[in-house]
Structure 1
């Protein structure tokens, strides 16, 4: 896509949204009796839709509906209640639309649906220790609690699984019954089930088996109400194109949740243990001062090691999570790379027909825009989509490689330039947010270093992030260079920033465990300590030089694995002044 068109596209999309809003507003002004659209929803289906503590509608669906009403100039009111009652009122014409309904073949006979704004998965929940369920046919003869008139109620009836169904008004009722010891299983939507279980503190029930039925979830209207369906579909398209729908999605349905309760409990246990140790040490002080000093010293070492073990376990769990998420992202990215060429071929097959129609009948609308414009833009859009999919796949592969667990004794020759490039790609977003002046210089040819490439990558990432955090504004620079000293046989890397610098009294404490000047911002003080340990394990050195207000230079050096003759073949591959504006 041409640079001018690429830069103008967001403004065009915004202009379309504004024009739609203005036209809707003009229509509303000309008709003071504009009809209020009654929107139905489940009063207890968090986080999609529910009644909050203030007695008002809330959730992802509610925010999305309000945003669509705003851009389309609609008047809406919400009617929330038990799902079975809301669905009945909808079928009887008392409600104009449902803001969240799962599409099925049976429901499509009596309702029309907008494009999906979410995907819903279903899960089987049970009390701890219950048999795992991998197929819904395993529910035959079991008492299964489902939401009355919900999608799984419909599914189990139409597919005759043999389960004995117990219907309840809400997901919360289903999980409460299960937690109290009644019935065998509950079949409910996965995310609302997890949400409700957490909110109600139902710790004895868990999902048992994989999720089922990836189902399309969107707006529903009664058959024939095409005008209202078109308003919701167009409004949803505007929100997607302007990024507002994604903002609402991220607010309510972000897939990554921070689970900190286990660490808080562990901290409480550690605090109790520390208190007991202090009592014991206090008694020891009375008997022997010299013994007190020895015990204090050893207790401090023990506490440091304990904190390092906690942090190491936390990072291991994070690595597993990142690896799993990367795998989940990789699958749809691969699907995009497979399908986009097919869509491009389909477009090419249709292009001659569309062009013939254009020549015979003149311009016409395609996806809401003139064909004369879309015939040039669609190939560019498909090309951009394929390039973006490739970039997603490459980033995911970098994340998977970073998260992959290796033992410290897995040492092999590696290229410091390649490891540095990988580290820069992983933190590219942080660099772009911090500075407009980032440069890299690579020494070529670079002798190999013997060690664990992943661990050295971890060190470089930490140094780059520290440099970015030290900057006060975007005009300050960060530069990186690799080098080789043939005389000493040392391979090295420097990370230089023009940030705030470091006080002399703090400079000598940088690698002390738990020393940090960013405690209030959540710093643990372990980053440079762990990095220093990794460098020392590779027989290397990490040196710091800094002055307050003058920036900081960090230098890493490692022994080359071979005595490469590079004195007369020095060359520098430069990527200087990479503009991140």
Structure 2
């Protein structure tokens, strides 16, 4: 009889349990919509291609990766984002400043930044502003539904408020001569002022109204917020948050140094180094004649010495030159976005004049031709500036001096998976056949995770570039070589292959077979230097017409310490 009751109960509750399971599975696969401000650099903004980027955006993507959350990031006007989360159209705001009033409607994660506010004024304003109360009776520009808009309304401060959609709009309006002051977040304000070359405005007084800045959800969505808070804690404990912070804020912090004087000093040192290098070259040629009469072993040692001198001199020279190139390149990049806006704003007027009066000359050419060519010309300039920046970054990596921090425990499989995700678009555009075979029992190594990622990405991108068609495949495998006590990662491609005479030159700086495609020949050279600092090897095997194997080997112990 007891068994009969058990069977009846199981039949009764089984459909309910299955329905709950289906509901749970469905919630796991739900796309979480993450919203943010489309013009709040360097925290969150749209790049020149219209893709979400910035410090907060990268944190969101990394949290989604470590927590297994399926996300979609939408950036738009801040006031629209506030409306969207109220209506349930988005689930999370990836960057929102905390206030007691906002806490009545939102739940907040632990902060990942502190936002200070600044008052900007034109150069002809001499008054120092140190608090909101100092703005009484003034015409003040603020972002609509931003934290300062909220605080001013809450505190009932009597001033003439003018709201705009973005911080950039506030600064441009002030620079054009409208109103008295603009109250914006300090770092975005400085960033945008420099980007748009707004030289007639400046922050006045001290920063004030510091607020905690982090993720926010509508009240009642604590479970989702807990996942983002946990993911943020993981990024902080693993050092990944610090790395992302350094990427977005390191350059801004370092920019306070007098780079002009540094550049002049570097130029003088470079000239002296060139004279010294010239003397060394002459001396080495004389020495080479003597070495040729000696044994083969002495000759090999001399060649190694020449290479070391060459790399040391070249590294110092490149480091100085890279800074000098990057400054005008940044100016070009910042001004291009302004010119694009000018073109958009003036197109309607040009077209109206063209319709009413017929064709006319613009820049020495008929407008009927120029209106189609100008957008492409601006895009070409932007692409060129980005390419210069990439080359400068490669030069900086090549010229980097000082030892790496090799104290991090690194899982090479995890590095491979992250690297593959980062170049996923390149892979999809290059091949229909991409596969991985990663060993499950792979020992960890001591090293620098970011630098090893850089090596793996270079190897995968090179493999993609070696393919003649998308039918040719790429395979990434990992394994442990017990005999050598090394963890190995191989990137195999079915591409064109490499000439036997060129195999030994692959790690040489500035050697490339893709010069006509804009290749600099620094990627594998930088990778080789990183691998050597880890005590590993980077080897290549290739057969013309059949493909290439790049073999990265890293020891499981560094400086005698076994993991």
**TM-score of the pair, normalised by structure 2:** 0.42
